[in-house]
Amino acid sequence: MPPLGPSTILLGLGLAMAGEPADDALAALVAGDYAESSRLHVEAVNGGAVSGDIYYNLGVSLYRQDAIPEAILAWRRAAVLAPRDGDIVMNLSYARRRTQDRIEAPALDSWMFWRSSFSFSEQGWAAALFLSALGALGVVWRLRPEAPVGIPALLVGVPALALCVSTAAELSALDDRPGAVVLAAELPARSEGAGGVVLFTLHAGAEVTVRERVGGQALIALPDDRVGWVPLDALGLVDPRLPFPTPPASEAG
Amino acid sequence: MVSASLLFAALPALYAAELVLDADTQSLQVGQTIGLRLTVIDAALPGAPSWPTVPGAKIAYQGVQQSVARIYGKTSRTVTYTYALTALDDGEIKIPAMELSVAGESLRTEPLVLKVSPRAATPGGAKAEASLRAGGQPVTSAYVGQVLVYTMSFRTPEQVLDRRFTAPTFDGLVAEQTRDGELREHRTVIDGQDWSVVQVDLPLVASAAGERTITPGVMAVQVPELGRTGRGAARAFANVRNEVYSSESLKLNVRPLPAEGRRDDFSGLVGEFALSARLLSDRVATGDSVTMEITLSGDGTLAGFSLPPVPADAGYRAYDDTPTVEARVREGVFTSAAAFRRAIVPERPGALTIPAVTLQVFNPRTGQYELIQSEPLTLTVTPGEGEATLSTFAADDQRRDVEAQADDIAPLRPRARPDRALFSPRDPLALGLVGLPWLGFFGLLARELAQRARPRVDPRRALARRLQGAEQAEIGELLGLFREASGLALGRPAPSLDVEALGALPDKHRDEALRLYADLEAARYGGGADAGLRERTLRLCRALLEQG
């Protein structure tokens, strides 16, 4: 077992202290101070206090601030962490109605049907538990060769394998081909990085997939497979582990 | 395949999209059905266009066909929508020009006029007749709310193999909701001749006052085309012929219900009705319930009817079940009956008189409003357990449903807490959770492998050491040494050796080994080893050991 290093201890300390800004952010949200609530929520998630509920509340305060693209980004991140939450889906549909580009998200078409119902975190921990149980059965088998561990090993091993594959797929999607939300008011997608011709123009709140990242540019793809290069800093990546972009300071009237 | 007419029609379309409308024939008889085609050349429509109402005709969509033709080197695509047009009245059928917008371009057909002549007398006298009936009798006038039965009767001396009825357009009439129409088919004999009869009965309710015209009903039948092919039993498989017959159109004068004599509590029922009521028990305890059955029957529709409510001061409360309504049509006569079950809950003990249920209905036969009522019923109410003070609250309840004023996103989460278990493959907890059991498993596996790889004692050396100390060995040990040495020489386990196995030893040792084995066995059961036997055994063992 790897030793608990300083980084782990610091992470634990960070998580233990992270509840405070989330509470303040919630208090500001309840009080109707949406700009302050958004700022505190962002501070909380960027400090490591990450959860579906916190991203959800961040989305609510951003939505109240009329920061629709940022609210979509927050709720998309919340949906990654809590995919079975119906409120998130409903709020996303509300926010999407206020965007300009009609982009229909493609359905998740995979034989790993459970991916749409479980977050990567749930799948990862389930995979770890099943793998642990499989290892324990291996120990029992070596200590007591006559023990009937074959069928239990099969019942544990198949889910362990499936969950390992789906967790790897989820993490790979988050790392290599993350979803993204256009945060700029208008974003021309070009054929070659900063140069080239404008292939199409997206607007704030449009949801795309990032296929490549080179320098400060990202190759994005639409669900109909059109691709184009855009500046990376005009996008918000749907990876809840990444820092959240700074929300707009002004509050909508 | 593209017909010649379409090819000619397509000639001007070499440079533009076009709509073309054509029919099988320009003249037809009443009841005859012909094909009507709408062809779209070099354009695409989102679906089959639907036709507006064309007086004197019924148009039904049948299908679509596509084709591609090459005309003067240009590829032209045609899409043909086919419709079945049935003539309903003699005179002219004027199909107006149809205008469609295709890809921003407006396309237009030419109007089409078809001449319809009266139907020629059909051989054998096949005939379709229609009528509107009330109480089994044909009528030409009715009141709003009255139930009429549209009856279409078709008879033919031929055998009907298949039939399809197309209902007319019922202007000012709607379908009765508690009873579907029915189609019956039977054979009868008239003047000594067999007839096939198809009869359709549709119960309808007059819904709007005024002069109404019911368009002809259409009966499409399939009859055998006998005498062309087949003979005897094979005639059953002969060709069939499709025939279309239409009835005449009908006129109906629908009158509004008179205002004179109508009470505020008019039940809305139109027809002749009878009402009866009974109690399932004539004795009940206060607070308990007794069921009252009310039966209402007549020749009007009972769809949606409910009993009048019980007054608040009636001395009892009443709760109605959903009524059971049954209706039927027999020989053009519509009848319906509704059974109501009302739970009566008396509020105080004593004799309770349940007043008669009274309804005002409109009788279309007399053209007047009438009152129908059940008999009053008497109920003996005994004191109940812990007689309750009952209050009527329904009339005093001023509450209203909470109205939604706006639609918004879902509310915030008051218990948002950071997730301390966000998964990462490099998380020490995950690594420990998975690593520890597997570490134990691989540790045990490694230990076993190490045990298997540990070098063993050389059996030859061990045997040589045993031989050195075997100068005084007894017969048992000698036999053991002999087996070990022979086993090593033969490469077999010592316990499995027998005389046959010893025969595989090299020639120079085989005879001595066989003899020695026999002597050792004999000595074992005969009484110990002598010095000669011990010396022979040790010598042979050393020889076998040296041989390797």
Question: What is the band of B10 on the pLDDT scale with cuts at 50, 70, 90?
Answer: very low
pLDDT of residue B72: 58
pLDDT band at B437 (very low <50, low <70, confident <90, very high): very high
Q: B366: Cβ–Cβ under 8 A, 6 or more apart, which residues?
A: none
Q: Which CATH fold topology does A6-96 show?
A: 1.25.40
A6-17 and A19-31 helices, crossing angle to 10°:
20
Average pLDDT of the segment spanning B242-256 = 85
The pLDDT of residue B440 is above 70: yes
Q: Can you give the residue range of the structural domain that contains B140?
A: 127-229+236-255
Cα→Cα distances A177→A174, A211, A237, Å: 6, 5, 10
Query: Based on the domain organization, do B280 and B161 belong to the same domain?
Result: no
Interval B92-101: pLDDT, tens: 898 888 888 7
Give the residue from B117, B152, B174 where a domain finishes: B117
pLDDT at A252: 43
Contact (CB, 8 A) for B171 and B358: no
Q: Taking CB atoms and an 8 Å cutoff, what residues of chain B touch A52?
A: 419
Q: How far is B451 from chain A (nearest CA, A)?
A: 14
B164 and B247 share a domain? yes
Q: Identify from B407, B408, B409, B417 which residue to disrupt to test chain A contact, counting A C-beta atoms within 10 A and taking the largest count.
A: B409
Strands, E assignment, B157-192: 162-166, 173-175, 182-190
In this prediction, residue B446 carries a pLDDT of 92
Domain covering A179-237 in this structure, CATH number: 2.30.30.40
Better-predicted residue by pLDDT, B435 or B13: B435
pLDDT digits (tens, 9 = 90+) for B300-311: 999 888 888 888
What would the pLDDT profile of B120-140 be if each residue is shown by its tens digit? 666 567 888 888 988 888 889
User: If you average pLDDT over residues B205-230, what whole number do you get?
Assistant: 78
ipTM reported for the complex, 2 dp: 0.77
Instruction: Choose the mutation target among B408, B415, B420, B442 for the interface with A, i.e. most A CBs under 10 Å.
Output: B420
Whether residues B55 and B88 fall in one domain: yes
Query: H or E element: which one contains B289?
Result: none
Q: How confident is the model at residue A77 (pLDDT cuts 50, 70, 90)?
A: very high
Q: What is the mean pLDDT of residues B150-163?
A: 85
pLDDT score, position A107: 64
Same domain, B87 and B133: no
Residue B384: which residues within 8 A CB-CB, separation 6 or more?
B285, B286, B287, B288, B349
Residues B354 and B242 in one domain: no
Give the chain B residue nearest A62 (alpha carbons).
B412
Determine contact: B438 vs chain A, CB below 8 A. Answer: yes
Count of residues making up chain B: 548
pLDDT given at position B531: 66
Domain boundaries, chain A: 6-96, 113-176, 179-237
pLDDT-derived band at B455, boundaries 50, 70, 90:
low
B398, part of any domain = no
The alpha-carbon gap from B453 to the nearest alpha carbon of chain A, in Å, equals 17
Question: Which has more pLDDT, B124 or B234?
Answer: B124
> Is-contact B286 B347, C-beta < 8 A?
yes
Q: Is residue B443 part of a domain?
A: no
* Confidence check: pLDDT of A59 > 90: yes
What pLDDT does A161 receive? Answer: 93
B205 against B386, higher pLDDT: B205
The residue among B339, B267, B243 whose CA lies nearest residue B297 is B339
Contacts of A133 in chain B (CB under 8 A): 437
Percent of chain B's residues with pLDDT above 70 = 87
Element (H, E) at B9: helix B4-10
Averaging pLDDT over each range in B37-41, B71-75, B145-149, which range is the top one?
B145-149
* Cα–Cα distance measured from residue B173 to residue B253, given in angstroms and rounded to the nearest whole number: 11
Question: Which two three-digit tokens encode residue A34?
Answer: 């949406």
pLDDT tens digits, one per residue of A2-16: 444 444 444 444 444
pLDDT at position B353 is 87
Q: How do residues B400-431 score in pLDDT, each as one tens digit?
A: 777 777 778 888 888 888 876 678 888 888 89
**B158 & B223 share domain:** yes
Q: Judge if B212 and B188 occupy the same domain.
A: yes
Q: Quick one: pLDDT band at residue B529, thresholds 50, 70, 90?
A: low
Q: Domain tally for chain B?
A: 4
By the 8 A CB rule, do B419 and B427 touch? no
Partner-chain contact A167 B408, CB within 8 Å:
no
pLDDT of residue A219: 93
Strands B283-285 and B377-382: parallel
Is the distance from CB of B466 to CB of B481 less than 8 angstroms? yes
- Looking at residue B98, what is its pLDDT? 84
Q: What percent of chain B has pLDDT over 90?
A: 12
> How many Å lie between the alpha carbon of A220 and the closest alpha carbon of chain B?
26
- For A221-225, B99-103, B313-317, B410-414, which range has the lowest pLDDT when averaged over its residues? B99-103
Q: What is the DSSP letter of A103?
A: -
Q: Could you say which of B411, B412, B419 has the minimum Cβ distance to residue A50?
A: B419
Å between A252 CA and nearest CA of chain B: 16
pLDDT of B244 strictly over 90: no
Answer whether residue B447 is part of any domain: no
Q: 3-state DSSP: chain A helix, strand, coil percent, rounded to 5? A: 55, 15, 30
> What is the domain-level CATH number for residue B329?
2.60.40
Q: Is A125 left (phi over 0), alpha (psi -120 to 50) or beta?
A: alpha
Give the confidence band of A54 by pLDDT, cuts at 50, 70, 90.
very high
Q: Tell me what pLDDT residue B8 has.
A: 41
Distance CA B122, CA B412 (A): 79
If you average pLDDT over residues B110-114, what whole number do you get?
87
- The answer on B338 and B295 residing in a single domain is yes
Higher pLDDT, B79 or B46: B79
- Do residues B39 and B112 share a domain? yes
Mean pLDDT for the stretch of residues B187-206: 81
Pairing verdict, β B377-382 and B350-354: antiparallel
The torsion angle over the Cα atoms of residues B394, B398, B399 and B400, rounded to 10 degrees, is 100
CB proximity list for A189: less than 8 A, separation 6 or greater: A198, A199, A200, A201, A202, A220, A227, A228, A229, A230
Same domain, B80 and B180: no
- Residue B205 has a pLDDT of 92
Interface test with B, best of A24, A80, A98, A131 (most B CBs within 10 A): A131
Q: How many angstroms away from the CA of B439 is the closest CA of chain A?
A: 8
Domain boundary among B64, B90, B117: B117
pLDDT at B346 over 90: no
User: pLDDT, tens digit, for every residue of B258-285?
Assistant: 988 888 889 889 999 999 998 888 888 8
Burial class (CB in 10 A: 0-12, 13-18, 19+), A106: exposed
Contact B408 A94 (CB under 8 A): yes
Tokens of residue B255, six digits: 């009158």
B10 lies in some domain: yes
The whole-chain average pLDDT of chain B stands at: 81
Which residues of chain B are within 8 Å of residue A49 when distances are taken between CB atoms?
A: 418
Q: Residue B418: inside a domain, yes or no?
A: no
Contact at CB, B418 and A134, closer than 8 angstroms: no
